[in-house]
Chain A
């Protein structure tokens, strides 16, 4: 999750109040962010992905100041028209939306420049989904001649100097050689043209979604006015991103000016900081939270979360991206009320508990086997292909995962191979080692997902004098305990010794396998003690009982 790092002194100045450390920690956690740690002057806070507006020190301080009651209610931001224009060309189909603004009256330090770069990066990672959904750029406005064109071009035809380069290159070189080109190339798969911002003097300002120009796209210490552009695939997303950036800059002391965006088919003016309104049903909120809030209480609580409220309608700050439904407001009311203030309550509702019958059955099987002095093991359902095939002389292909990062990248289609692994790893411990496992196996079949899952039981007896009789005795005890009879028919199986392996049947239906493991297989696991195995389908066994 992304984090924001706050400088305690700076933060307190923005908030307008100093809190004792313990209280500060507590309030940060209860605002709906995770305090990661405080080190000296630095406070590191984890921000949940639904609140990109908290990713800057300014945004976080704004919310925190309201939350602790210093400056509550909706923040108003004035926007004046800059009279400047961005013309969107119909060619930018791959990234069709942009929203832009100008902010004046800023003064930068090295620290501030680094801060706004970081905000952009973090926003692009979360809100912009790693620049795929949206990406943002900030430019010293005085170096740019308006109107600006947002246009897609063949990268071979565009020459400019990307950030960090000291000479001009063709744009297609950027994709291959610029660090941002390499990182974000995957977003642009299938693009023939790439979108650019180009100013009235044909200076390339940036290539999307990669990099700004070294000449026109770099904020410096003497910059006082910036041009901000957000581009992406979703207008709403782009608009909110712009609002988050410009309100942050405004909180740094800037003044916001709008820009006219001329799309081929419409004309809009951005940013739009007019707070959207949402109706709220106080009854529903109270019901959901178990509270009895009056309208005045709700208004106070909403204002602590930075909202405005007027006669049943909530004014939502234009930088909030996460308010889809009034339940989202209910949550913020609950946060303002304080999660710690909800008193637990068990409702007086009668319901009858019910166990899953198969789970219950499996628990009984466990009890029977414990009575036979067996030890239960519990292996992972994911294992290696080798363990399921070569190492037990089997050829059936287990189901594979597409993208496992570890070596356990197949779903097991039998349990006994896991038991062999356990016995291999326990050779330094006391014998006899008689173990069992109840768990799922996976095979291809006709289901919604194409995978059939079955609960199986596997038992392995391992000691010096083990033989077929002993494992069969266990099977008989299990069957007898359930009031069932099983029969065995000789079969052949590559994991077992010939003539010492059988299929287990119940009412002529095959339910499992039983036998002595072949010495060659034992050799593959470097096991030097004989093993007898059985594995049965517990669901089939269970079906004979009901």
Chain B
């Protein structure tokens, strides 16, 4: 960067600091000279260092100072001297001595310990009370200036390394709030060649940091010199409002089916076994109906008028040309209330509302379905399914492959494969796989097929091919966002939601 554009980008704080740097090298001096606060000076020095204008040197020195008690003793004398001063050649009771000395209990105790060690006092105990008298040695000490007193008389603050009487320093450090050692951080600067050059230049008078509406109103912006920013620098991050990423995908999937001319179906999560299972010709003793697979609720559902037709189909095939399941249909079973196990229940309900003149018709739904499973990295007890039906007298298996191929193309998968499968309500039944272009393997996404006449005729009133699919979406959605634990789709971690990239299809 040339020096001119460097000058243009200088922040007002930098501009204020720069001119004083030639004369002032320490932080305190720079603060004083620039009339800025320390924090402002530190910030601008850091910026200038980043620009290669100067080098910041930080040194730490240790400084010794008198603390609270130290200052007091310097003025009033050391407590051990005061204590010695009130003693006699004869034993006197501690209470009397303490009172006379005006020292605190704590100080008195400290003095007794200290003076005993120096043989300055004799201590005896009479009737459980301490009695003390001064010794010869004590009188000598009292008459001389002690090293401690000399220490106190020194000029503080002192550098730690300048202290000669290390013995007294060591003792004082042990005593309460007598002396303290402070760490003094000294910041000084050293101008680089660039800095020397810069500090002797004219920085071009006042620069303006922010364009204000005031300047715009009075036109004063015309006379201003605007500071250039460093536009390449990182800025603090901010957050935006955000849709849940699963809903972003759901929205896209809805748009695909709408584009292809499908109408959206919706309906309840709580359904009767009749709609969820029996209307779809799932035999009443089918293993999937058992308690471990389906969530049941208390209560008995009301049945629609056409339930007896469905009953006939189960028992004998009714008028569908089927043999039926050949058992006795249980009304009790069909009235059970459950959480829908597939969105195909919506297809059954939709078909039951259609008339001949509504055909051909195409419907889709994206909705939650429920399975009685424990939560783990591969299983959720509720998850999204994409459902579709085409009720068209001319519909066939090739169309089914056509619609699904289109759909998956739009989801980013160009190769779709059908494999034979089995579902009680479709014949033919098939499993749909898509080819994962990166992992180079087929992934299984869900079932499809043509509804059996045993399903269609009782609901619609006449037979008509209905091609149908119910595809799981969890895998594709997880795949898109590289989620490997399916629970992460619904863990509602705000950091995850905030940082998840947008659905870009």
Contact = CB atoms under 8 A, between A and B. Distances in A.
B453 A354 contact: no
Contacts of A340: 417-418
A288 B404 CA distance: 17
A49 B422 contact: yes
Interface string A224-241: 000000000010100000
Nearest to B275: A448
B299 A450 contact: yes
A356 B254 CA distance: 10
Most interface-central of B257, B261, B392 (chain A CB within 10 A) = B261
B465 A359 contact: no
A347 B399 contact: yes
Interface in A325-351: 325-328, 330-331, 334-335, 339-340, 342-347, 349-351
A470 interface: no
Contacts of A342: 397-398, 401, 418
A200 interface: no
Interface in B395-436: 395-399, 401-406, 416-422, 424, 427-430
A521 B246 CA distance: 30
Interface residues of A, number: 87
B483 interface: no
Residues of A contacting B: mostly: loop
A324 B257 contact: no
A375 B497 CA distance: 8
Interface residues of B, number: 96
Contacts of B406: 346
A51 B421 CA distance: 11
Nearest to A237: B326
A126 B402 CA distance: 34
Nearest to B291: A403
B32 interface: no
Contact of B494 (A289, A400, A429): A429
Contacts of A376: 242-244, 247, 497
Contacts of B243: 366, 370, 376
A33 B419 CA distance: 9
B264 A359 contact: yes
Given A351-B362, A371-B241, A429 B399 contact: no
A331 B395 CA distance: 15
Nearest to A48: B422
Most interface-central of A48, A334, A373, A422 (chain B CB within 10 A) = A334
A288 B373 contact: no
A405 B247 contact: no
Contact of B241 (A375, A401, A442, A449): A375
Contacts of B240: 370, 373
Nearest to B243: A376
A435 interface: yes
A51 B429 CA distance: 13
Interface in A426-473: 426, 429-430, 433, 435, 440, 442, 447-451, 453
Contacts of A351: 261-263, 360-362
A430 B381 CA distance: 30
27 contacts: A48-B422, A50-B424, A51-B422, A325-B323, A327-B452, A335-B420, A335-B428, A342-B418, A343-B398, A346-B399, A346-B406, A349-B360, A353-B257, A354-B258, A354-B264, A355-B264, A359-B266, A375-B242, A403-B291, A405-B374, A406-B374, A430-B239, A448-B304, A449-B268, A449-B272, A451-B337, A453-B270
Given A334-B420, A340-B417, A382-B370, 16 more contacts: A49-B422, A325-B427, A327-B452, A339-B418, A340-B418, A349-B360, A353-B262, A355-B264, A366-B247, A375-B497, A382-B381, A399-B297, A402-B291, A425-B493, A440-B269, A449-B297
Interface of B: 239-244, 246-247, 251, 254, 257-266, 268-272, 285, 287, 291-292, 295-299, 301-302, 304, 317, 320-327, 337, 339, 360-362, 368, 370, 372-375, 381-382, 392, 394-399, 401-406, 416-422, 424, 427-430, 450, 452-454, 465, 490, 492-495, 497-498
Interface of A: 29-33, 48-51, 126, 129, 132-133, 234, 236, 287-290, 324-328, 330-331, 334-335, 339-340, 342-347, 349-356, 358-359, 363, 366, 369-382, 399-406, 408, 411, 422, 425-426, 429-430, 433, 435, 440, 442, 447-451, 453
